[in-house]
């Protein structure tokens, strides 16, 4: 299958190259290969600098924060949430998932092997899952280990060929090569062994899928030509400095005595080697002049920047984000928000449905995790566009300054406070009502306490004996007393 896809892509590329200019083959003249194997992709990832950045950029940004897996929002942990917490403490699942996400981008796919303590060979299915991928029975297995592999170490041995099966076209078995380097003393694997593995013990991961559900496009494929050109420029700049950075020396005889000079090649060579490779700082010549040649070194920076910008453009990554985190701090707010939006979209549309949920569902099916309630479990990521503490402080300062100018300038005569808070500052109606209510309460405070109520007007009336005055609120007359006559209040 990968060969058919690759041949179709190459034939289309050849057709396009002839269509653009039938007189020449641009790829051939630029030294770009027609095809590249998975092993060559892996070599570029291991030895390449920018190539490794191309492969690992999206996984690093995607997994910069761990998602939160939960069943309900209640404070009391459910059985599923407790089991998940214990499992993540025993196995760094998110670290393995990031590694698998990175490795799957080297080639067309990658896998995560689940080491389950069921006592069965790897080529046999795990109890709890049928061939259609449905849960059967109630097994209780223990997760012993996880191990990610890239495509160079995995071969799809067979696929589901029954069109009525929900897993139609999906792999049913793999050949997985375990290859480890001992003590890092050699680049040749010391421990190498191949095992047949049943699909139920594998989580299949493929990024950049197009026509196929099991094969994606390698992340370096789209920018391969630019990576090769960049390697030429970077390597050529080092070779250029090595050969042209140290000025050469030209030994010349005077034209008038050219016929009388006898050139001793061996003695001259000995003199030059002593000068260039040793500590001797003079050249003894007879009838000859030693002239220093000009340095022939050009600055490769513009050419390197051009290739990097083309790579970033093809990947859809802001320039400052692509070249590193320090320079990314200078990126515009629009670039940062667009990039964060793309990472959030990758989490929702790829990581959740094609990486996280298949792993969690498989762990539930084989009994590593208990089954959650009918509502299932939720996966929440931190919004990368949410404000940081510094951003919140900056926003609060600007809003406070705006409110101060609003009050001092008497703008409330033109725009009522409610409309200013909702239309200008973007507050919700509930927030605006709360702020206005708190301001009204604050205006009634005197030295931190509620101000006393305004005095109620009183009137003086004759007491029961007709002599003692009684102070009552205006209009209030005790029972049995005549209506008061108007008198001055106090």
Predicted confidence (pLDDT) per residue in 297-338, tens digit: 778 888 889 999 999 999 999 888 888 755 445 556 677 788
Alpha carbons 320 and 353: distance in angstroms, whole number: 30
Q: Which three-class secondary structure state does DSSP give residue 479?
A: coil
Dihedral class, residue 431 (left if φ above 0, else alpha if ψ from -120 to 50, else beta): alpha
The CA distance from 451 to 381, in Å, is 49
pLDDT at 179: 79
Structure tokens at 2: 């990968």
Parallel, antiparallel or unpaired: strands 449-450 and 110-116: unpaired
pLDDT digits 0-9 by tens, 74-123: 888 999 999 999 999 999 999 999 999 999 999 999 999 999 988 899 99
Domain spans in the chain, listed from the N-terminal domain onward: 36-220+332-380, 247-294, 391-450
137: DSSP letter = S
Alpha-carbon span 375 to 237, nearest angstrom: 60
pLDDT band at residue 490 using 50, 70 and 90 as cut-offs:
very low
Measured CA to CA, the distance from residue 278 to residue 345 in angstroms comes to: 62
| Average pLDDT across the chain, whole number | 81
Rounded mean pLDDT of 328-357?
84
In tens, the pLDDT along 200-240 reads 999 999 999 989 999 999 999 999 999 999 988 888 888 77
Which strand (E) or helix (H) includes residue 323? helix 319-323
Give per-residue burial for 426-449: e unless 16+ CB within 10 Å, then b.
Answer: ebeeeebeebeeeeeeeeeeeeee
Task: Say yes or no to pLDDT of 358 above 90.
Answer: yes
Entry pTM: 0.71
């Amino acid at each position: 299958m990968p060969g058919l896809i690759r041949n179709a892509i190459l034939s289309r590329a050849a057709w396009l190259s002839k269509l653009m200019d039938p007189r020449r083959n641009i790829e051939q003249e630029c030294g770009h290969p027609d095809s590249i194997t998975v092993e060559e992709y892996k070599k570029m990832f291991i030895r390449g600098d920018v190539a490794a950045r191309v492969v690992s950029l999206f996984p690093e940004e995607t997994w910069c924060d761990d998602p939160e897996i939960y069943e309900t929002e209640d404070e009391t942990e459910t059985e599923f949430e407790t089991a998940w917490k214990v499992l993540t403490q025993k196995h760094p699942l998110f670290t393995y998932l990031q590694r698998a996400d990175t490795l799957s981008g080297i080639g067309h796919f990658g896998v995560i092997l689940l080491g389950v303590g069921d006592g069965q060979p790897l080529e046999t299915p795990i109890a709890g899952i049928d061939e259609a991928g449905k849960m059967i029975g109630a097994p209780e297995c223990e997760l012993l280990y996880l191990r990610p592999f890239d495509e160079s170490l995995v071969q799809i041995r067979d696929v589901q060929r029954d069109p009525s099966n929900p897993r139609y076209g999906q792999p049913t078995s793999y050949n997985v090569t375990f290859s480890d380097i001992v003590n890092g003393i050699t680049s040749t694997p010391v421990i190498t062994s191949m095992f047949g593995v049943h699909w139920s013990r594998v989580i299949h991961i493929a990024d950049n899928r197009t026509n196929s559900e099991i094969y994606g496009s390698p992340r370096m494929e789209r920018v391969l030509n630019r990576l090769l050109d960049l390697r030429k420029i970077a390597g050529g700049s080092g070779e250029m400095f090595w050969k042209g950075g140290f000025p050469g020396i030209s030994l010349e005889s005077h034209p008038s005595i050219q016929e009388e000079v006898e050139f001793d090649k061996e003695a001259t060579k000995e003199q030059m080697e002593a000068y260039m490779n040793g500590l001797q700082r003079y050249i003894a010549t007879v009838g000859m002049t030693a002239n220093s040649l000009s340095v022939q070194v050009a600055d490769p920076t513009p050419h390197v920047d051009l290739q990097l910008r083309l790579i970033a453009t093809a990947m859809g990554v802001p320039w400052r984000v692509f070249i590193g985190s320090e320079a990314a701090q200078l990126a515009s707010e629009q670039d940062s928000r667009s990039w964060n939006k793309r990472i959030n979209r990758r989490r929702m549309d790829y990581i959740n449905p094609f990486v996280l949920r298949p792993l969690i569902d498989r762990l539930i099916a084989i009994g590593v995790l208990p089954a959650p309630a009918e509502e299932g479990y939720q996966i929440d990521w931190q919004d990368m566009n949410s404000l940081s503490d510094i951003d919140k402080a900056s926003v609060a300062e600007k809003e406070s300054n705006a409110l101060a100018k609003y009050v001092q300038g008497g703008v409330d005569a033109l725009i009522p406070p409610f409309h200013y808070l909702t239309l200008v500052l973007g507050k919700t109606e509930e927030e605006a009502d709360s702020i206005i209510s708190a301001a009204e309460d604050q205006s009634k405070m005197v030295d931190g306490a509620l101000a006393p109520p305004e005095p109620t007007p009183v009137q003086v009336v004759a007491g029961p004996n007709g002599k003692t005055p009684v102070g009552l609120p205006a209009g209030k007359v005790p029972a049995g007393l005549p209506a008061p006559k108007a008198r001055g209040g106090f």
